[in-house]
Amino acid sequence: MKLRFVIILLLLFGNTVFIFSQDNILEGDFNKDAKNDRLEYSYIKNTPYIKILLNGKSPIKKDLYISVERYSMPIEYEVPGYINIHEFSGSRFDNYFIYKWINDDWYLYGIFHQIESDGLVNVYLEPVNLRNTKKIGEPTYNYNVYDKQERINSKNLLDSIFTLYKQSYQIKDYKYIEMHNKYLSLDLLNYIEVDNSTVQKYNDIAYYIVSIPNCNEELLQEGISLLLRIVKTYPERTVAYINLGDAYWELNENTKAKEAYNKYIELMKANGKESKIPQRVLDRVR
């Protein structure tokens, strides 16, 4: 196993901590130019910093302006063009701020929340207002990166994903559905709102995601995030609640599953469709 070196420098004249190790270095394509870049994280004078060395360009240094654990690496890299920053606050919540490279810098593109409330952990993906967002390393929201062409692209993307997932589900070949991730969801939700013209497609996409056999936790959470967005806009959308209940049940989050199922039952009864409630739902709320 490769030996990892960690250097921690404590300066006696202040509460200054500098952290540098192989665990605090990331390599990846951070600005989506198909070139390998380097990111270094450090914690100096109670402030977390990152230094990004883009291939062939001058280093970029930024403060993070978030709460982090002093000795842990809060930066994640998963796909080209994105940098995720983990904000940690005790046991009450975790936020993952998702920044996307747009034109000349990384801008806040979404937030992945994990919030504890009444003993339950609520996990959901939140899109942002691209007309008033912020750069990585800046505390204020004052940038407009909304792109009309991207909205057209996202509308076409929604139609394509709906068709592709539907066909994949029908023929029981789930590989394309299994590729769904939070970045794809944000490309949709940041430009295409859930409204009367899109709610059916969003609901069906979420259904295809959470209904594939042996669906993993990450995919279930992606489907749940879409469904929560739907019921936030359309609180009377009956079918979304049974989809939510099934997804939570697969995650063994039975309390939240029962809440969704009970709302589904309530709406079915109000619409005179009590006889059509699946037996599994009735069994699970007992």
pLDDT exceeds 70 at position 245: yes
pLDDT exceeds 90 at position 56: no
pLDDT exceeds 70 at position 70: no
User: What is d(CA 129, CA 66) in angstroms, rounded to the nearest whole number?
Assistant: 20
What's the confidence (pLDDT) of residue 269? 97
User: What is d(CA 219, CA 139) in angstroms, rounded to the nearest whole number?
Assistant: 31
pLDDT exceeds 70 at position 92: no
What's the confidence (pLDDT) of residue 21? 46
For the chain, list the domains and their CATH numbers. 6-127 (no CATH), 148-284 (1.25.40.10)
Can you give the pTM of this predicted structure? Answer: 0.86
pLDDT exceeds 80 at position 264: yes
The set of long-range contacts for 103-107, using a CB threshold of 8 Å and a minimum separation of 24, is 103/145, 105/135, 105/136, 106/30, 106/135, 106/136, 107/133, 107/134, 107/135, 107/136, 107/143, 107/145
Structure tokens at 11: 């300066």
Average pLDDT, the chain: 88
- 101 close to 31: Cβ distance less than 8 angstroms: yes
What's the confidence (pLDDT) of residue 221? 93
pLDDT exceeds 80 at position 13: no
Q: Going by C-beta distance under 8 Å and a sequence separation of 6 or more, which residues neighbour residue 28?
A: 36, 37, 39, 77, 80
What's the confidence (pLDDT) of residue 113? 87
User: What does the CA dihedral 47, 48, 54, 60 come to, rounded to 10 degrees?
Assistant: -10
Q: What is the pLDDT of residues 153-169, one digit of tens each?
A: 999 999 999 999 999 99
Q: What is the pLDDT of residues 185-217, one digit of tens each?
A: 999 999 999 999 999 999 999 999 999 999 999
pLDDT exceeds 90 at position 275: yes
